[in-house]
């Protein structure tokens, strides 16, 4: 039955629909594996009609565990809730067919049951489920509170069904904290300073649109939302009411020196306090660029160090602003400021490398890869902005929804430790469709390697990752092939060859590769403490990021899989507790790994983009790291009780069966 037919069908009572749903669900339960596909659509059709009834959502919620058990999600993307994305879910609610909308809403009812602890699911925790629903509500806040548009009216029963469903979800996790949670969620993500902020901007815009409605009286989160909205659409006195770029340009032409200084300071304050950039900021920068270096420095919020770099490399920075900062890449102003402030331009190789990047002509393959995110933007400008992004925010790189943590980590490490090498790789990949990396003296060409870890297009990544990751991935896999028969963990050889000379030549592994069981775990822990803990390594700091492997666990401490991160530093937090600060290429690094091991991203001395854990908790999830024997401290001096505690945490979580 089509949606139009559904909308014109005789109106059934909730009791009638419930009986009909019971019949279709029973048929699905009894159907053979091969016949289930044909039996699912009747279930979804009746479910869609129930969603459109005010009392129908509760009926479906009460049956949600049975619905999953009957196989309603089998063979679809919804069979794996851990892979679902809030933005795609919101798109399905808005534009999906009745069947797709119904299965999405049923999936979200399952999430609600998990979030409330009324249903257990092996692949998703209650915290993750609630986090997912909060993001969906943020994206659909207009439908949640009954905003009516022409599109909603045209969609008829679907709009009613979605509104009923979202209201039920909001009631399920609590109306009282929905908006507060959304604002807190936005600020938590922004505190990590990700390069990709499109989804955050969309969330802010939709929440702000709801709060602007006359009938809305909620005041709790208004201050937080207003601060975020102002950062995007009205950060200064000259554009406070969001007048539009054309009007603001006219205003700039009439501003005196005092007003321009005030605008510059307010732009910088809004940008650095949130990590968000307004399109008006780009307009202002172009207005003063090349004419007023002092105002450029103020608008970027530069300190004395950044101002010195600006004075030394003024022509380069002027040109970067001209080419890379456009109406669609204005968010790159923040990493531009961070790049200048970091002092990376004082590296003799960086300025010439960036000048070469400005004139780069991408290949047809590169242009095609970037086209989906470029829109009407010049691919060259987009790629240049991408280079600025990774140099300015090396800890803001994310792997997106792709199995490429190794490549994302490598780009981040190079941006920190070898930025000129990274620019060279980007140049070769973008211009020549090839990069070369040596493995044990033999050249590996990405153009000569057919397969990597993934075959589909990358999603939700920055421009540099879009261009470079496929090449890194192919070389990474080829390195794995070349050492597959050596009997040990291939990262023993891959990490030191792929990443750089600073990676330790020796490898410590917590498990025996042949059996998968723990192998001399006490020595593994003692060695790490002797290498990294200030009390046992003569207080030597971490000089370069070190590639490391962790055993990721869920909020119940159950093993999920192996994951690539990099150790950045080890030190005391504000409470004098020793913590490991690390980079996690996941888009969101704030995670609950179970048994009170909760990764922190702020509040414990983290710098933007860092994750951290107390050293004992970190080592309890560690399975591989590299070292040079000459850097080892005294293993015997490491506290035995602490070693035993770390081992107990590991054996209670990922190593329980090892």
pLDDT reported for residue 206: 76
Which residues does residue 507 pair with via DSSP β-bridges, in sequence order? 626
How confident is the model over 571-623, as pLDDT tens digits? 999 999 999 999 999 877 888 898 999 999 999 999 999 999 999 999 999 99
DSSP of 157-191: HHHHHHHHHHHHHHHHH-GGGHHHHHHHHHHHHHT
Taking residue 456's Cβ as centre, other Cβ atoms within 10 Å add up to: 6
Q: Around 490, how many Cα atoms within 13 Å sit in the side-chain half-sphere?
A: 14
Checking 247-254 for CB contacts under 8 A at 24+ apart, the result is 248/280, 248/283, 249/283, 249/287, 252/283, 252/284, 252/287
Which residues does residue 571 pair with via DSSP β-bridges, in sequence order? 579
Q: Are 423 and 354 in contact (CB under 8 A)?
A: yes
* CA dist., res. 334 & res. 393, Å (int): 9
pLDDT reported for residue 325: 96
Tokens coding 208? 């702000």
Q: What is the dihedral of CA 417, 418, 423, 427, to 10 degrees?
A: -130
What are the strands, taking DSSP E only, across 436-544? 436-439, 442-445, 506-509
* 234 phi and psi angles, rounded to 5 deg: -165, 60
Q: Which of 498, 520, 516 is nearest to 508 (CA)?
A: 520
Q: Are 482 and 439 in contact (CB under 8 A)?
A: yes
Phi-psi bin for 240: left (phi > 0), alpha (psi -120 to 50), beta?
A: alpha
Residue found by looking up tokens 């930025």 in the block: 419
CA distances 450 to 305, 444, 469, 477, 530, Å, are 46, 12, 14, 10, 42
CA distances 220 to 18, 183, 223, Å, are 39, 10, 7
Q: Is 611 helix (H, G, I), strand (E, B) or coil?
A: strand
Q: Are 366 and 379 in contact (CB under 8 A)?
A: yes
* CA dist., res. 25 & res. 47, Å (int): 10
Q: Are 190 and 601 in contact (CB under 8 A)?
A: no
Q: Around 318, how many Cα atoms within 13 Å sit in the side-chain half-sphere?
A: 14
13 CA to centre of own chain: 44
How confident is the model over 617-646, as pLDDT tens digits? 999 999 999 999 999 988 999 999 999 999
Residue found by looking up tokens 């080892």 in the block: 632
DSSP class of residue 238 equals: G
DSSP H stretches of helix in 329-434: 333-342, 350-358, 364-374, 379-392, 405-417, 419-432
pLDDT beneath 50: ranges in the chain: 1-10, 147-155
Tokens coding 352? 């010439």
239-278: b (≥16 Cβ within 10 Å) or e: beeebeeeebeebbeeeeeeebbebbebbbebbbebbbbb
Cα angle for residues 375, 376, 382 (degrees, 5° grid): 75
pLDDT reported for residue 175: 60
pLDDT reported for residue 151: 39
pLDDT reported for residue 216: 61
Tokens coding 550? 């962790």
């Amino acid at each position: 039955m089509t949606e139009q037919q559904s909308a014109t069908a005789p109106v059934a009572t909730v009791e009638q629909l419930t009986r009909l749903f019971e019949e279709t669900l029973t048929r699905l339960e009894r159907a053979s594996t091969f016949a289930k596909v044909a039996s699912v659509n009747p279930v979804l059709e009746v479910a869609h009609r129930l969603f459109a009834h005010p009392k129908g959502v509760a009926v479906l919620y009460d049956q949600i565990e049975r619905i999953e058990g009957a196989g309603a999600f089998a063979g679809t993307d919804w069979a794996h809730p851990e892979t679902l994305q809030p933005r795609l879910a919101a798109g399905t609610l808005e534009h999906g067919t009745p069947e797709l909308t119904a299965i999405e809403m049923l999936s979200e009812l399952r999430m609600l049951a998990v979030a409330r602890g009324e249903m257990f699911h092996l692949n998703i925790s209650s915290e993750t489920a609630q986090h997912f629903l909060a993001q969906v509500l943020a994206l659909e806040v207009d439908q949640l509170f009954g905003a009516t548009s022409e599109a909603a009216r045209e969609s008829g029963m679907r709009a009613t069904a979605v509104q009923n469903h979202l209201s039920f979800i909001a009631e399920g996790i609590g109306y009282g904290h929905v908006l507060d949670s959304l604002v807190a969620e936005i600020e938590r993500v922004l505190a990590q300073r990700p390069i990709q902020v499109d989804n955050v901007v969309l969330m802010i815009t939709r929440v702000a649109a709801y709060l602007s409605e006359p009938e809305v009286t909620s005041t709790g989160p208004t201050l937080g939302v207003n601060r975020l909205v102002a950062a995007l659409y009205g950060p200064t006195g000259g554009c406070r009411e969001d007048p539009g770029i054309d009007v603001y340009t006219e205003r700039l032409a009439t501003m005196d020196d005092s007003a321009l200084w005030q605008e510059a300071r307010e732009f910088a304050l809004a940008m650095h306090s949130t990590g968000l950039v307004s399109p008006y900021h780009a307009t202002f920068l172009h207005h003063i660029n090349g004419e007023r270096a002092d105002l450029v420095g103020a608008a970027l919020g530069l300190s004395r160090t950044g101002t010195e770099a600006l004075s030394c490399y003024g022509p380069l920075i002027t040109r970067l602003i001209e080419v890379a900062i456009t109406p669609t890449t204005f968010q790159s102003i923040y990493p531009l400021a961070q790049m200048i402030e970091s002092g990376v331009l004082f590296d003799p190789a960086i300025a010439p490398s960036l000048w070469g990047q400005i004139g780069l002509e991408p290949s047809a393959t590169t242009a095609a890869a970037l086209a989906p995110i470029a829109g009407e933007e010049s691919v060259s400008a987009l790629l240049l902005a991408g280079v600025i992004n990774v140099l300015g925010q090396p800890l803001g790189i994310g792997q997106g929804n792709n199995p490429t943590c190794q490549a994302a980590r490598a780009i981040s490490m190079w941006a920190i430790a070898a930025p000129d090498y990274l620019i060279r790789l980007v140049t070769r990949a973008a211009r020549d469709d090839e990069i070369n990396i040596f493995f044990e003296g033999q050249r590996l060409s990405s153009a000569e390697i057919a397969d990597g870890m993934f075959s589909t297009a990358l999603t939700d990544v920055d421009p540099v990752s879009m261009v470079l990751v496929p090449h890194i991935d192919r070389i990474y896999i080829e390195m794995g092939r070349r050492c597959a028969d050596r009997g040990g963990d291939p990262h023993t050889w891959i990490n030191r060859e792929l990443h750089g000379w600073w990676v330790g030549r020796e490898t410590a592994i917590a498990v025996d590769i042949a059996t998968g069981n723990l192998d001399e775990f006490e020595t593994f822990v003692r060695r790490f403490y002797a290498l990294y803990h200030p009390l046992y390594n003569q207080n030597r700091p971490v000089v370069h990021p070190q590639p490391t492997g962790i055993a990721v666990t869920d909020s119940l401490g159950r093993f999920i899989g192996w994951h690539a991160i990099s150790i950045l530093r080890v030190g005391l937090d504000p409470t004098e507790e020793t913590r490991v600060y690390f980079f996690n290429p996941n888009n969101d690094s704030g995670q609950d790994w179970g048994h009170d091991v909760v990764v922190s991203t702020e509040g414990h001395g983290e710098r933007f983009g860092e994750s951290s854990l107390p050293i004992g908790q970190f080592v309890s999830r560690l399975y591989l790291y590299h070292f040079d024997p000459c850097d080892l401290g005294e293993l015997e001096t490491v506290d035995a009780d602490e070693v035993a505690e770390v081992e107990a945490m590991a054996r209670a979580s990922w190593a329980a069966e090892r």
